Structure 1
Amino acid sequence: MSAKPVSKGDAIDFNIETMTVEQGLHLIEQERVQPLLTYLRTGVFENRNNMTFMKAYSVVVQFGDQQQHSVKLYVYYKQVIHGYCTEAMSQLSQLSGEELLAALAQLWEKNTILVFWMQRVFQYLDRFFTKSSTEYPDLFRAALQCFTDTVYTKVKVKCVAAMVDVVNRERDGHEINQDVLRLLVEMLCTVGDSGPKVVKQKEGDRNSADRLLWQSQSRGLYKEDFEKKLLAATNDYYKSKVAGWMAAYSCPVFLQEIQRRLEDEESRLSRYLDSSSEKDLKAVVQGELILQTAKELVEMTTGAHSMFVNKRYEELKLMYRIFRREPSMLPHIISVMEPYIEQRCSAIVEDQQMIDNPPTYTERVLELKNEVDNMVATCFESDTGFQKGRNKGLEAVLNKDTRCAKYLALFSDLQLKKGLKGRNEDEVQVLVNQVVGLFAHLKDKDIFLDIYKSALSRRLLNKLSVSNDAEDCFITKLKVECGQQAIQKLASMFTDMALSDQLQEEYMRASHHGSPGGVTHEVRVLQTNAWPEKADDAPVVLCPEMLTCIRAYENFYHAKHNGRKLRWIYNMGHLEIKCHGLSRQHLLVVSTYQCLALMLFNGRQEVTLREIVEATKLPEEECKRQVMSLTVSRHKVLMHDGSGKDLALDAKLEVNNGFTSEKIKVQVSLIKKEEKATETTTLAEAPVERKHVIDAAIVRIMKSRNRLEHNALLEEVFRQCTLFKPQPTQIKSQIEHLIEREFLKRDEKNRHAYVYLP
């Protein structure tokens, strides 16, 4: 509602100087109040211009700074509002239910208009009269008190009950008048407030109409009179609904109903309820819909277990989103997820077919790990509790024995030798991340590293790696996972290879160009403690060609590094021999020991196994294995006069002149040692180094603490042994050894405590 502006030059045509206060109030009544009341009753505003406002306002200014006249103006202001509310109340008293709510909302809206325009006329009183008075509240408070006394206190019981009923009707799917409830909520938030006022606001965009609304400092009587009853009714409503849904719905349907109801309540808060109710309303709704149902929902036949087994990830995602509102309910899902993952993992690691096929075993475990990782990420948003549950489920099965650690190391070796061939950088990165991710779950990390180190040494020395970048990536990831110290020897192996390449380049620049006696050879200089392979101590007799090469390299090396000693490891070497006497020229790739045996045939047509042993000084069993590898059907370079697979010492051997192969270059494989036929599928033994690691940890801890009780020492050792999980009995045994070696002693006052001996 707006008034017609006064034109420039218009005069106020009344003599305020000679006017009495009664005459002034009569003028206000006629010029301003009655047209305003008529508008509220009929919707028609007569005499709508600013002149009437200016006349009325001038009267208030004229008399408002005089105490006796100010009281009369103030009383008149209250009488107008009281009279309007009294008149309206006579109609409200006969109504109930939604009719009462609609009529009361309309009265509140019209009363707001009345108060706003009356306060504008009488606002001068707030500047001087009410401001310094404790007896007379400001105009807005006085008007609100009139409404409260005349209307609200008489209808609040019926009004609140009707509002609660209407909210429940909407919950049941009925259409309601939301504008009515919004106005009544505003009313409840305003009545009883200590500092209310009416302001004019735009609704929506700039071109929309103005709206008058109350602003309050507190929430008035909203919480006391309405919110308590709403919360109680909400609790009863959902309690009765849940009982019916539980009997009629499956778990997924129940979850969808819960989600719909939660969204509905959130929408209700934004549409007409006061925002201060959000916390308490959500607590009541979620208490009945989630807290009281979560365990039963999870345990339904269509609940969490069924969702996991049937991979219903959307349903799990919905369950998590709902339960996340009450975090204490999430463990119910986790308690189902853990045994599910254990069961899936056990089905792989306890399957004998998988155990007999290490690559397939590892691939299946990696696939499962990838699957549950994706499930935790997509369904449970990588929640920490679910990550711990996943880890617990996997580790409970994978760490029952050392097989997974061993198989993972063998799988890594296979991939770095063959499996990564032809893959791009991203695919290599993915595989490395998967392997290292599974490695992180293993408690026997030292077993993995021990086998991985042996395999890495063979790959490096035999140049079997598919990609140096992949090798570097693997080492980097392992370093992040278990620290620099754990992979120090692995890094040293790469350093040795790089230094050996430099030495070889320099060696090739010598006068013989790296081929003394016409034999081209390549030497790798390795640090003794960095490589897992040990030198064969057998006093092997080398052929002259090899001796020439060895002397040449030793002279070159000692010229560069005075005082260093080279120890030759013949059992780790291999050679390429060109064969001229065969029906077709071949290049044989053989071990050093096989080469020594074959070189004997350069001077003789026939040689016995005994003669080979005597000439080379190889141990009998090893010599037999090396020579027999040359007599098998696939690479039958030598023939013998014996029968069967065994080779006697007196068996005569001669070159198979009819030997031929599709390939010019023939790799002669060694027969594996007898007891190693099943070594791939057996469990790995714990490395001997574990005892030294435990000893070092105990000494390190006790040196820093000086005195420590037994249980506290155990906890510290557990924390420091990151590559494996030592058993308490194992730690206790090492403590006893350290006491015997006088590193520690028992405390004389407390036999359960230890003292460090410097």
Structure 2
Amino acid sequence: MAPAAMSGLMPAQPVKDDIDNTWQYVQSGITRIMTNLQGGVDMGTYMGIYTAVHNFCTSQKAVGISAVSNISTGQSHRGAHLLGEDLYKKLTEYLTAHLKQLVVESRAHTDEALLAFYIREWHRYTVAAKYIHHLFRYLNRHWVKREMDEGKKQVYDVYTLHLVRWRDVLFAEVSGKVMDAVLKLVEKQRNGETIEYNQIKQVVDSFVSLGLDEGDSTKITLDVYRFHFERPFLDATKAFYQNESKQFVAENSVVEYMKKAEARLDEEEERVKMYLHPDIGIPLKKACNQVLIAEHSAILRDEFQVLLDNDREEDMARMYSLLSRIPDGLEPLRAKFEAHVRKAGLAAVAKVASDVDKLEPKVYVDALLEIHTQYQGLVKRAFTDEPEFTRSLDNACREFVNRNDVCKSGTNKSPELLAKYTDILLRKSSTGVEEAELENTLTQIMTVFKYIEDKDVFQKYYARMLARRLVHSNSSSDDAETSMISKLKEACGFEYTNKLQRMFQDMQISKDLNAGFKEHVAALSGPKGLDSSYSILGTGFWPLTAPNTTFDPPAEIDKDCQLFSRFYRNKHEGRKLTWLWQLCKGEVKATYIKNAKMPYTFQVSIYQMAVLLLFNEKDKITYEEIASTTQLNNEALDPSLNILLKAKVLNVSPEGAKPGPNATFGLNYDFKNKKFRVNLNVGMKSETKQEEAETNKTIEEDRKLLLQSAIVRIMKARKRMKHQQLVSETINQIRQRFVPKVSDIKKCIEILLDKEYLERLDDDDLGYLA
């Protein structure tokens, strides 16, 4: 540090080996530095003190030892050592006396005046210490260094000596009062008054500077700061907020208290940035969290249900933010949130499920989605998408999706209705849905699908409906179909969608085959009577069964079918075709109707076509004749006739008679319809119920096979297992497809024991038989 100008003259240099004379000379200069706020001295004074210290420390004279012997025995260093120690002691005594005087002066000050005094004197003292440290540089480099290297305690470089003396003399006396003044100032600020917070910052810096490492004087610790500042500051903070919060809660609502607590916590964080040491940040936050949140957590949690019931999103976000600051603060909220969402979901389903048989799939799925969307938004906005709240939402949704009024008695209604809604979306419709809107709706369907436990039920229904859409060319969009299958594949894996993808491949192969068939027919002699197309559907991939009735198709149809069969057998020798007549359809033109501006075109099933073509030969035909000619059983024939009667294409006599023996049918020549293309190929409710029954039956059968294969797979890998352990392992493997009943698993184990895939061993163990 460079010397500054100061008026006044120093006396002549003292005798260099006289400690009293030397110290008297040095002390006068130190006093001038100590009493001057700027701490500066002129160059002459600076060099005089520096030289005096140097001369004293390098003096060769020592009691009882000659200069020669000093040189020859190397005792000159010992002499410097002794003389340096004297000078060090004199400085120490001087600093102690100076600081004791400051202690006396400090007693005249209190509160902010004491702070001002302490800061002023600290500044003056530390600036002076830097000058004096420089003046005693030779002592530092030689005597102090040697003492410290030899492990001597209580020896420091001159600057550190100043800090130690301040700590042990003045600080020990006034630190408590200074801290009290600091705390009063902070309390004023907390009560809304404006304060000179820079004073507190300087006190903090002072306390930190006094944290000297006794083992290594070059290092600073925070021990003094933590004991004398941080600890009382935290205690005072707790006491202040305990009193304030207790009174505020008694006089205000919980929501108002949360706002107050939030504001107070923000203030304390700002306080750390403004004038506190960064080290206090974590313990201060912890202390505030304890008194402002943890001690009032019970009333906050009690209020959470009220906020949920009234959709107070902003207040819930505030409560989440507060309770997330304390250990396990959010767990009770998550439990209440889960119960609330489950209750809301069940209520939403109950509202639309007055008649399950008439329940529209869209209405049901929309009710589920509405609740999920509402509370997913709440989790995102109020609970910052926290994983545990998301898990609570998922648990609640899984409950109300799978166990609600519609799903009573263990039925598979949720996956069934979801599959039906998907079918409605993916079928061609007159309304027409925008591609982007359809994709968004399919994504929402996958949201509900995620919560479906019986995913195998959805798969069965979806596969049947997809098959009908593909066979009847009734898909709204191939891209949408592909997108949905991709989503299912991503959710459940390749195996889940393997058959669905193969169905698409079959349809593409069929298109190519039909193109080849048309070329083949064109090459034959004679005109082609029918415009036909055929779909070849792999038995193992399509959820379709052979018709449950015999059928003799009309001659025109039969001829074309025979032609195609020969063409196909030539291409694929050894393959057998099974005709799925119940899925065949076509169009017939009606030219017999009187007063028609143009011929009507009837869109009909193959069974209806067979019935109508009979009227090319006769006007009146009995039920028995129709049955005999078509070979249809009454289960297939009666629904077809009923639709023709209902549409008034046919008349029946006696009038009002139902299809059956003794009924005679005739064409209605006065048929009228607003459309010239009339769709008569509509399903009957009885057919739909029969299909559902068949689907449910195949689901049960497939589940048994799936359980058995899982059990065999587990036992093949493990060779030997406890019965209960095998049941648990089977549940874990199967639950991605459906949640199996323990009783069903036990039945499957018994079946495998009978089939000798497994054997019973000792201690309830089961063994695998290769």
Deviation at 1:195, TM superposition (A): 7.0
**CA deviation vs aligned residue, 1:95-151 (integer Å, no higher than 9, x gap):** 333332332222222222121222122233222221120253222221112112220
Amino acid at match of 2:627: V
Q: Deviations over 1:331-354 (max 9, x none)?
A: 121121112111111112223347
C-alpha contact 2:16 2:55 (8 A) present in aligned 1: no
Aligned-partner Cα distance in 1 for 2:383–2:260: 20
Partner residue in 2 for 1:379: 382
Return the alpha-carbon distance in structure 2 between the equivalents of residues 112 and 645 of structure 1. Answer: 118
Specify the code of the residue in structure 1 equivalent to 2:263. R
Instruction: State which of 625, 637, 645 in structure 2 corresponds to 1:631.
Output: 645
1:292–1:645: structure 2 CA closer, same or farther, 3 Å change rule? farther
Does structure 1 retain, via aligned residues, the 8 Å contact 2:652–2:663? yes
**Unaligned segments of structure 1, at least 5 residues:** 7-11, 199-214
**Partners of 1:287 and 1:317 in 2: how far apart?**
19
Q: Distance in 1 between matches of 2:332 and 2:275?
A: 35
Aligned mate of 1:89, from 76, 99, 103: 103
Matches within 5 A, 1:393-542: 393-400=396-403, 401=407, 402-418=412-428, 423-512=433-522, 517-542=528-553
1:407 shift after superposition: 1.2
State the aligned residue count. Answer: 725
SS at match of 2:328: helix
Following the alignment from structure 2 to structure 1, what is the Cα–Cα distance between the partners of residues 93 and 211?
20
SS of structure 2 residue aligned to 1:629: helix
Change (3 A) 1:86 1:231: same
* Contact 2:585-2:606 at 8 Å conserved across structures: yes
TM-score w.r.t. the length of structure 2 is 0.87
**Cα deviation digits, residues 465-496 of structure 1 (max 9, x gap):** 11111111111111111121122211111111
- CA contact 1:372–1:390 (8 Å) conserved in 2: yes
- Partners in 1 of 2:435 and 2:687 — Cα distance? 40
- Residue 357 of structure 1 is matched in structure 2 by 360
Measured in 2, the distance between the counterparts of 1:311 and 1:682 equals 45
Q: 1:672 aligned to 684, 688, 692, which one?
A: 684
**1:33 aligned onto 2:30:** yes
1:113 equivalent among 127, 140, 155:
127
Asked if 2 retains the 8 angstrom alpha-carbon contact of 1:586 and 1:666, the reply is yes
1:127 aligns with 141
Letter in 2 for 1:482: C
3-state DSSP class of the match of 1:571? helix
Match of 2:582? 571
Q: In the alignment, is the contact (CA less than 8 A) between 1:609 and 1:624 conserved in 2?
A: no
1:536 Cα deviation from its structure 2 partner: 0.5
**Displacement, 1:423?**
4.6
Q: 1:84 to 1:16 in 2, by over 3 A?
A: closer
Larger mean CA deviation between 727-736 and 589-598 belongs to 727-736
Opposite residue 340 of structure 1, the aligned amino acid is H
On the 8 A contact 1:453/1:532 being kept in 2, the answer is: yes
Which digits, 9 at most, give the CA deviation of each residue in 1:182-206, with x for residues without a partner?
22222222324127999xxxxxxxx
Aligned-partner Cα distance in 2 for 1:17–1:422: 110
- Structure 1 window deviating more from structure 2 (486-495 vs 579-588): it is 579-588
- What do residues 276-335 of structure 1 show as CA deviations (whole Å, max 9, x unaligned)? 223322222212222222232121xxx222222222222111211222222511112112
Say yes or no: does 1:620 pair with 2:623.
no
1:163 matched to 2:182: yes
- Residues 433-466 of structure 1: per-residue CA shift (max 9 Å, x gap): 2111111111111111111111111111112211
What's the CA shift string for 1:6-32, capped at 9, x where partnerless? 9xxxxx9999798677776566556x5
Deviation at 1:228, TM superposition (A): 2.8
Q: Distance in 1 between matches of 2:693 and 2:349?
A: 12
Question: Which of 236, 247, 250 is the aligned partner of 1:247?
Answer: 250
CA distance in 2, matches of 1:158, 1:407: 77
1:263 corresponds to which of 266, 278, 282: 266
Secondary structure of 1:566's match? coil
Tell me the equivalent position of 2:67: none
637-646 or 187-196, which moves further after superposition? Answer: 187-196
Provide, for residues 68-121 of structure 1, a one-character-per-residue CA deviation record: whole Å limited to 9, x for no partner. 443354345435543442332221123333332332222222222121222122
Q: 1:586 to 1:5 in 2, by over 3 A?
A: farther
Which residue is equivalent to 2:564? 553
Report deviation, 1:710. Answer: 2.3
In 2: Cα distance, 1:146 partner to 1:13 partner: 27
Contact 1:195 1:217 in 2 (8 A): no
| Structure 2 CA distance for aligned equivalents of residues 474 and 699 of structure 1 | 33
1:698 touches 1:713 (CA, 8 Å); kept in 2? yes
The residue matched to 2:759 in structure 1 has which SS?
A: strand
Gaps spanning 5+ residues in structure 2: where? 59-79
Per-residue Cα deviation, 1:580-619 (whole angstroms, up to 9, x for no partner): 2223312211001111111111111221222111100000
TM (norm. structure 1) is: 0.88
- Do the aligned partners of 1:641 and 1:651 also contact (CA within 8 Å) in 2? yes
Query: Residues of 2 paired with 1:349 and 1:71: CA distance?
Result: 92
Deviations 1:606-662 (A, max 9, x none): 212221111000002321210221121xx3222222333623433222222222333
Give the AA of the match of 1:242.
S
Separation of aligned partners in 2, 1:510 and 1:195: 105
Q: 1:691 to 1:46 in 2, by over 3 A?
A: closer
The 3-state SS of whatever aligns with 1:512 is: helix
- Whether contact under 8 Å (2:586, 2:603) holds in the other structure is yes
Give the structure 2 partner of residue 153 of structure 1. 172
Q: Distance in 1 between matches of 2:657 and 2:178?
A: 104
Deviation track 1:692-733 (CA, whole Å, cap 9, x = no partner) reads: 111111111111111111222122111111111011122122
Tell whether 2:173 aligns with 1:176. no
Where in structure 1 do 4 or more consecutive aligned residues deviate above 6 Å?
A: 12-24, 195-198, 513-516, 677-685
Say which SS state the counterpart of residue 486 (structure 1) adopts: helix
Partners of 2:716 and 2:317 lie apart in 1 by 51
Q: Deviations over 1:43-83 (max 9, x none)?
A: 6x776x55644444344444445334433543454355434
Counterpart code for 1:755: G
Question: Following superposition of structure 1 onto structure 2, how do residues 151-300 of structure 1 map, counting pairs within 5 Å?
Answer: 151-194=170-213, 217-299=220-302
Structure 2 Cα separation of the partners of residues 605 and 318 of structure 1? 81
> How far apart are the structure 2 equivalents of 1:449 and 1:191?
75
Cα offset, 1:404, TM superposition = 1.7
Aligned in 2, Cα 1:468/1:354: closer, same or farther, shift over 3 Å? farther
Structure 1 position 359, deviation (Å): 1.7
Cα shift at 1:4: 5.7
Distance 1:674 1:428, change over 3 A: closer
**CA, structure 1 residues 178+216, in 2 after alignment: closer, same or farther (shift >3 Å)?**
farther
Kept in 2, the 8 Å contact 1:141–1:196? The answer is: no
Select between 97-106 and 147-156 the one with higher mean Cα deviation.
Answer: 97-106
CA RMSD of aligned residues (A): 3.1
CA distance in 2, matches of 1:264, 1:671: 71
Secondary structure of 1:577's aligned partner: strand
Question: Percent of aligned positions with the same letter in both sequences?
Answer: 25
1:719 — aligned with what?
A: 732
Amino acid at match of 1:180: Q
Paired residue type of 2:565 = E
Structure having the larger proportion of residues in helix: 2
Contact 2:368 2:401 in 1 (8 A): no
Matched-pair contact (CA < 8 Å) for 1:358–1:681? no
Matched, 1:690 2:703: yes
Structure 1 pair 38–100 and aligned structure 2 pair: CA distance change class (3 A): closer
Task: Report if the CA contact (8 A) 1:406-1:684 is conserved.
Answer: no
Q: Tell me the equivalent position of 1:329.
A: 329
Structure 1 pair 646/109, CA: closer, same or farther in 2 (3 Å)? farther
